[in-house]
Structure 1
Amino acid sequence: MPVALITGANGGLGRAIAESLATEHGYHVIISSRNAAEGKAVAVSLLQRGFSASSIQIDLSSDESIHEAVKNIEAAHDELHVLVNNAGVHLEITDTDLSTRQLLNQTFQANTFGTAVLTEACLPLLLRANTPRIVFVSSRNGSISQSLDRDWPMYGVQHPAYKASKAALNMLAVRYVEKLEGVGGMMVGFHPDARSPEVAAEKVVEMATLEKDGPTGTFVDADGSVPW
């Protein structure tokens, strides 16, 4: 049975991705969340319905937490077929008294730095699988071309920390296009603007379950390709 690790899978889009992979595609899903109790509840819900799932606590701001989690995943499964880097924060959509440095630091820790550490830690397990796939859940806000388009509805919206973190995430994804060339890695960006988690999850799951010769190194959402 293929194994998928989904970060931030205790609710919202992450949970919808995990539910789909488990119930529609026959994956064992590892529900990763910062809150251990919430992640366990999602895994138990799937198990009670007869699907394969487990949970693991990962704090993306802690290298120790990340490496301990990957060690436990290796002990339980030996290999990993899919990594969905879904967890992230958007602190600028609410009022905050954080300084510019604090805002950038907290945003990048969750959206970029932790994701980079986790992806690199999972790489040996992914390389043991026949067709490993990595999905980075990004955002159109991370597109430099889109952000400069005056006709884009989000043009002029600030949120520099979030946008910068997602642009950095996109470059991180490109690195794995190069690193996994010829192996079958999948790097895709998607953000569920104004869509339900269930609908938003469809594109992510599609990318996570492509055949070996499917497209790679793409930046897409439900409407098609997104300019880098």
Structure 2
Amino acid sequence: MTQDNGGAVEHGVSDLIGACPPLSSERVFAGHIWDVVRESFEFPHNDEPLTRDFIDHPGAVSMVVLDDEQRILLQRQYRHPVGMRLWEIPAGLMDVDGEPPVEAAARELAEEADLVAESWHVLADLFNSPGSSTEAQRVFIARGLSPVPEHERHERTGEEADLETAWVPLEEAVAAVMNGRIHNPSAVVGILAAHTAAATGFAALRDAHAAWDEHPRLRP
């Protein structure tokens, strides 16, 4: 296997960390959840510095919730920017300082789905829109489910107060992705990754606490 530049890939295809140091950085918009930053940086083979605006995002976690019957939990939620109600997997922001990603996922699962999972593993990592946002997302798989006690359940507000819930066979969820009926990126990635993992009996899953140096805010 070779890269486009002719260099050998010793350990297979892998993304590389290596940011161009910014010459300038300005926060041009401060939002409720995320900000917009403008940075200029030097780039090889370019005579002039490049300037890019991007969303500075805290990152997110999501989870494929799989029951003993190989059904996946899907939730349909209204998303105003695209004007649609999307079938998604439970997810949430990494907006608690110092909270490990798997603990953020467990918190979100309890808040959004009233569930606790005994088994957690990393399923996939992704950048939602790397050309315009720092948002990194880790997709977990959660199994060994039990309900949150009634008196401990989170009161959902806003769009989450109107969530629709369905338990869908994994194969049916895969078909919905392939037929263009599911569009949420973490749901698409999570469903297809879970289907691939299931084919090997979930033997190659990463530990729930696996390093995540690719997340811009978690790099050493």
TM over 0.5: no
Where is the helix percentage greater, Structure 1 or Structure 2? 1
- TM-score by length of structure 1 reads 0.24
Where is the strand percentage greater, Structure 1 or Structure 2? 2
